[in-house]
Amino acid sequence: MRHLMSPLDFSTEELDRLFDLAGDIERNMSKYAHACDGKILATCFYEPSTRTRLSFESAMLSLGGNVLGFSDAGSSSAAKGESVSDTIRTISCFADICAMRHPKEGAPMVAASRSGVPVINAGDGGHQHPTQTLTDLLTIRSLKGSLSNFTIGLCGDLKFGRTVHSLINALVRYEGIKFIFISPEELKVPDYITDMLKEKNIPYEEVIRLENVMPQLDFLYMTRVQRERFFNEEDYVRLKDFYILDKAKMELAKEDMLVLHPLPRVNEISVEVDDDPRAAYFRQVQYGVYVRMALILTLLDIHVD
């Protein structure tokens, strides 16, 4: 039985196969409509979500399966003190596969160690968000044709942003990637990540002003400053609108640069950017469904001819 805790759980060859499958699903949706007949996905979300939970549910329903779960720990027996270990042992009696989001780093890993069914980490605290990373990689590969040889700017909350940490870890396995980290001093990417980049001789820059680096970028990965990760409301208020991508800044970018964002956004991308053909963040959401369909099939070892 296989789980997904980190994007690194799959080799680059396995990721290629997963993305090929996602591409086939995109082109031939009806071929997969009964692939998971009789199977059940549980979504156990101890933290709020729109995209991840609903795209998992959409993915399983599109494969002919069914879904159950909870979207709020307060409506589950966690509110009565039940452990994650006991919850997953219970869920294993009800479902064939489980996607779990939890505010505590490592909670999905604890669940996987006690589970009778595959567990997918759907985001654990500020640690990892592997299915967002699969979504991001599939989006880049689908829209640019390759996962190599580009400069990506990651902008915003690089300290607490689990999507950022997962994406950097995944991209270092590809050739010719340069990172530009754009953040205020307080939200810089953690040292363990820059240490890893130095060790692997992967080029990166750390800057504060987005405008200065816009012309260099092939991708701009915007992120939200996450109120829920701050200990202090004053710091959040001071930093929340540090970056706002607007039309004026987009004029500094290459004609074929693409803007990605894991979403939800708050103010960091002005809605006036949405109509720019380079705004790819809602296309990214759609790729999230295809890649989660491919992931469910892969973890359940279901093959469709």
Residue closer to ligand CP by CB (options 108, 123) is 123
Least Å distance, CB 69 to ligand CP, is 14
Residue closer to ligand CP by CB (options 180, 285) is 285
Under 8 Å between Cβ of 281 and 260: yes
By CB under 6 A, name the one of 96, 262, 287, 291 that touches ligand CP.
262
What track of x and - describes contact with ligand CP for positions 90 through 129 (by CB under 6 A)?
A: ---------------------------------x------
Query: Residue 51, interface with ligand CP (CB under 6 A)?
Result: yes
Least Å distance, CB 67 to ligand CP, is 15
Query: Residue 132, interface with ligand CP (CB under 6 A)?
Result: yes
The closest alpha carbon to 111, from 130, 127, 94, 98, belongs to 98
Least Å distance, CB 139 to ligand CP, is 12
Residue closer to ligand CP by CB (options 87, 223) is 223
Residue with tokens 């607007």: 246
CA angle (27, 31, 32) in 5-degree steps: 100
In angstroms, the CA 133 to CA 21 distance is 16
Cβ-in-10-Å burial (0-12, 13-18, 19+) of 206 comes to middle
Contacting residues for 114 by C-beta, under 8 A, at least 6 apart? 85, 88, 89
Query: Residue 6, interface with ligand CP (CB under 6 A)?
Result: no
Q: How many residues bind ligand CP (CB under 6 A)?
A: 9
Query: Residue 148, interface with ligand CP (CB under 6 A)?
Result: no
Least Å distance, CB 264 to ligand CP, is 6
Residue closer to ligand CP by CB (options 49, 298) is 49
By CB under 6 A, name the one of 3, 19, 35, 52 that touches ligand CP.
52
- Which of the stretches 48-56, 184-192, 213-221, 290-298 binds ligand CP when contact is defined by CB under 6 A? 48-56
> The sheet that has 219-222: what strands, in order across it?
204-207, 177-182, 150-155, 219-222, 258-260
The closest alpha carbon to 223, from 210, 211, 204, 232, belongs to 210
**Which residues are bridge partners to 102 per DSSP?**
124
Contacting residues for 233 by C-beta, under 8 A, at least 6 apart? none
Q: Which spans of this chain sit near ligand CP (rule: CB under 6 A)?
A: 49-52, 123, 132, 262-264
